[in-house]
């Protein structure tokens, strides 16, 4: 998602997901598995914290096994309409999934293609979705700066990344009290 001018805030160090943001992203990624999901994130920055208030899956996204994209005109329409709500929220980034391909496990890390399309001042949340064959539910937990856990037949790992002014990505500590209480 393109951004004409990055915000004048300091580089964040953490990202907080509301419960419905977590549910929306995990369910959207599960629904289209083995293809990728794609959506945008609305929220705001407060100091070194990015607060994600809403995740909106893009229904018109074209999807493949290792890519997802949305036509620019549709993206602009969604951006314009979301700004009309005037809730103090801004388009702060997007989310997408990486899915398991055969025996190659997905990772919640930006791919070289992801890095190419990152814009300064934006948040990128990546959900790695892998098949889960465990007999017991894997509780959601911290895995470094990421969140990991299982839901049904899927094992998830969720990472948050911020593109700084020098176009380098920085991994943020991702927090979601709701997920960690599951």
User: Each residue of 115-169: pLDDT tens digit?
Assistant: 988 989 999 999 999 999 888 889 999 999 999 999 989 999 999 999 988 888 9
**Distance from C-alpha of 116 to C-alpha of 140, rounded to nearest angstrom:** 30
Which residues are paired to 159 by β-bridges? 126
| pLDDT tens-place string over residues 52-89 | 999 988 766 565 555 456 667 666 666 676 666 657 78
- Going by pLDDT thresholds of 50, 70 and 90, the confidence category of residue 45 is very high
137 close to 109: Cβ distance less than 8 angstroms: no
Any idea which of 71-80, 84-93, 94-103, 172-181 has the lowest mean pLDDT?
Answer: 71-80
Pick the closest to residue 15 from 177, 179, 174 (CA basis): 174
Domain ranges in the chain are 14-180
Residue 95: predicted pLDDT? 95
Which H or E run includes 85? none
- In the three-class reduction of DSSP (H, G, I as helix; E, B as strand; rest coil), residue 89 is classed as coil
Which pLDDT score is estimated for 5? 44
Residues facing 56 on adjacent strands: 40
Is the CATH number of domain 14-180 1.10.1660.10?
no
pLDDT of amino acid 182 = 72
Start-to-end C-alpha separation, the chain: 32
**pLDDT given at position 32:** 87
Residue with tokens 């980034």: 93
């Amino acid at each position: 998602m393109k951004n004409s001018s990055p915000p004048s805030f300091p580089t964040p160090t953490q990202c907080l997901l509301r419960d419905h943001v977590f549910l929306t992203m995990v369910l959207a990624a599960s629904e289209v598995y083995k293809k990728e999901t794609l959506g945008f994130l609305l929220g705001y920055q407060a100091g070194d914290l990015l607060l994600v208030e809403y995740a909106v899956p893009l229904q018109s996204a074209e999807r493949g096994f290792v890519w997802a994209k949305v036509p620019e005109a549709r993206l602009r329409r969604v951006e314009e309409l979301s700004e009309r709500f005037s809730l103090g929220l801004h388009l702060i980034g997007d989310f997408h999934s990486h899915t398991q391909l055969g025996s190659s496990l997905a990772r919640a890390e930006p791919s070289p293609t992801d890095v190419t399309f990152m814009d300064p001042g934006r948040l990128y949340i990546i959900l790695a979705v892998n098949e889960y064959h465990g007999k017991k539910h894997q509780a959601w937990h911290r895995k470094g700066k990421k969140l990991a856990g299982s839901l049904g037949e899927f094992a998830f790992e969720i990472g948050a990344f911020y593109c700084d002014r020098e176009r380098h990505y920085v991994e943020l500590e991702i927090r979601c009290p709701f997920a960690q209480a599951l």
